[in-house]
Amino acid sequence: MNIRPSAELRNKYNEISNYCRETKEPIYITVNGRGDTVVLNITEFENMKAELELLRSLAEAEDDVANGRVSTIGNTFNDIRNNLNARK
């Protein structure tokens, strides 16, 4: 874990940015010795967000299956066709 004081964020931004980009690891920034902020390369941040969204979707799907909120593929396509025909 890479922990740096907030003053380094001001004084060594390029070094911090390069570290995050090259290692794909975050840097934890402290203020008065306490955790305050995390700096992460934007690509890694976007990947982390996408992974979290996928995990949330999978958890929701598992909950639907566990609680019987599922339908056969045939019924699903019939519902779609019926909705499309109702719009005509």
Which CATH number belongs to the domain containing residue 7 in this structure? Answer: 3.40.1620.10
Residue-wise pLDDT tens digits, 17-32:
999 999 999 999 999 9
pLDDT bin (cut points 50, 70, 90) of residue 88 is confident
Does pLDDT of 56 surpass 90?
Answer: yes
Identify the domain containing residue 72 by its residue range. Answer: 44-87
Distance CA 26, CA 83 (A): 47
> Does the structure show a pLDDT above 90 at 6?
yes
Same-domain check for residues 75 and 51 = yes
How many other C-beta atoms lie within 10 A of the C-beta of residue 29? 19
Residues 5, 29 contacting (CB under 8 angstroms): yes
* Same structural domain, 16 and 33: yes
pTM beyond 0.75, yes or no: no
Q: Is pLDDT at 16 greater than 90 in this prediction?
A: yes
CA-to-CA dists, residue 52 to 32, 45, 59, 60, angstroms: 31, 11, 10, 12
Shared-domain flag, residues 32 and 66: no
